[in-house]
Amino acid sequence: MSASAGTPATSREWHLVARPQGWPKPEDFALREAPVRQPGEGQILVRNTHMSVDPYMRGRMSGVKSYVDPYELDKPMLGGAVGRVVASGAEGFEEGDHVLHHLGWREYALVNAKSAVKVDPDVAPLGTYLGVLGMPGLTAYAGLLRVADFKEGDTVFVSAAAGAVGSQVGQIAKLKGASRVIGSAGSDEKVRVLVEEYGFDAAFNYKNGPVREQLAEAAPDGIDVYFDNVGGEHLEAAIASIKLHGRIAVCGMISQYNATEPTPAPRNLAQIIAKRFRMEGLLVGDHYDLQGRFVEEVSAWVRSGELKYRETVVHGVDNAVDAFLGLLRGENTGKMIVRLGD
Ligand SMILES: NC(=O)c1ccc[n+]([C@@H]2O[C@H](COP(=O)([O-])OP(=O)(O)OC[C@H]3O[C@@H](n4cnc5c(N)ncnc54)[C@H](OP(=O)(O)O)[C@@H]3O)[C@@H](O)[C@H]2O)c1
């Protein structure tokens, strides 16, 4: 085993200490000290440099078992992270290597090397492995091209369009020959970014008026595909605008993640009969067989500048919960990342 000098005896990690009811509160979390242990056989000790905060984490804070286990109380939370190996007990991993793994929400992580993937900062900036070239990117790629069965000439509508997944959905649709791409977002500045930087044909601020009216105006001939990140009023509006045999890929319903009462189904769902549209849920974990194609195609677009991305970076482990809460409030444009150090 190799170990770098200067590794501290303890480091900090975020624990969930109470299950949030409605909107999470800072008191639901605690930043605690934990010993930094040296790696055993097959393990690596990683100094996390970047950690991800993602909307799905809100679901893991509830006690309900879903497609991923809930976070345990008084234990460190989990999530995507990138870091530098500072000690290795695993063949094939050396001090100084960079890895992507799932033990975020902490400064140092003792990682089973089998669950870590090496990443190269000379190929792409490390933050991109959590965003445009990472899980949200694959979600956009697989969700649009496979689940929504995108076809050249389609009119595509995507919600949370200035976020990590949404901004990529809209741009991939344009690059693949969509006839019209429409996005919704929660501020006029985000709407400007969608049209001026990402090349959306139209965009609107859903806080400025009813989504149904704004969508109908932006897509007077209707939409073929709706990529749903939001649910609720957005989903109803999309059903109202969708064409015969349209497709809805349901990726997320962030407008409902903090709801304390059961949320109603779209009130116009019966239109599924007359319009024969298809609506299908999407889980990124089902689509890792597309990883190779996704990285090849999207990294080429990123390198050529055809696909643009933004990151909102919050600095310091102390601010990780604020970053997560900010994400739920829409304070990010593009992927929300917490920078933990070098
Ligand atoms: N199924 C899967 O496998 C999978 C994988 C990854 C992500 N997702 C889902 O994809 C969606 C986007 O995830 P992301 O990581 O790219 O996050 P993101 O879009 O970068 O960030 C979340 C955004 O949601 C918007 N939002 C928050 N509350 C809203 C509301 N009430 N109505 C409308 N918009 C609201 C905010 O932007 P505004 O300023 O525009 O409100 C915020 O910036 C989420 O629903 C997430 O759960 C699903």
Distance 40 CA to ligand 1 centre (A): 38
Region 66-82: mean pLDDT is 95
CATH number of 10-131+310-339: 3.90.180.10
pLDDT per position as a tens digit, 224-260 = 999 999 999 999 999 999 999 999 999 999 999 999 9
Instruction: Domain 135-285: give its CATH architecture.
Output: 3-Layer(aba) Sandwich (3.40)
Region 301-326: mean pLDDT is 98
Model confidence at 109, in pLDDT bands (50, 70, 90)? very high
Give the tokens for residue 102.
């799932």
pLDDT per position as a tens digit, 198-228 = 999 999 999 999 999 999 999 999 999 999 9
Mean pLDDT (the chain) is 97
Pocket of ligand 1 (CB under 6 A): 54-56, 136, 139, 160, 162-166, 185-187, 190, 229-230, 251-252, 254-255, 282-284, 327-328, 330, 332
Note whether 10-131+310-339 and 135-285 share their fold. no
Nearest residue (CA) to ligand 1, atom 46: 252
Taking alpha carbons only, the member of 285, 231, 226, 225 closest to residue 255 is 231
Is residue 2 pLDDT above 50, yes or no? no
Give the tokens for residue 78.
């989990």
Taking alpha carbons only, the member of 72, 238, 229 closest to residue 159 is 229
At a CB cut-off of 8 Å and minimum separation 6, what does 289 contact? none
At a CB cut-off of 8 Å and minimum separation 6, what does 152 contact? 176, 177, 178
pLDDT cut 70: percent of the chain above it: 99
Domain boundaries, the chain: 10-131+310-339, 135-285
| Closest-lying ligand 1 atom to the alpha carbon of residue 165 | 16
Which residues on adjacent β-strands are paired with residue 73? 16
pLDDT per position as a tens digit, 36-69 = 999 999 999 999 999 999 999 999 999 888 888 9
pLDDT per position as a tens digit, 270-284 = 999 999 999 999 999
State the DSSP string of 287-326.
GGGGHHHHHHHHHHHHHHTSS---EEEEESGGGHHHHHHH
The predicted pLDDT at position 66 comes to: 86
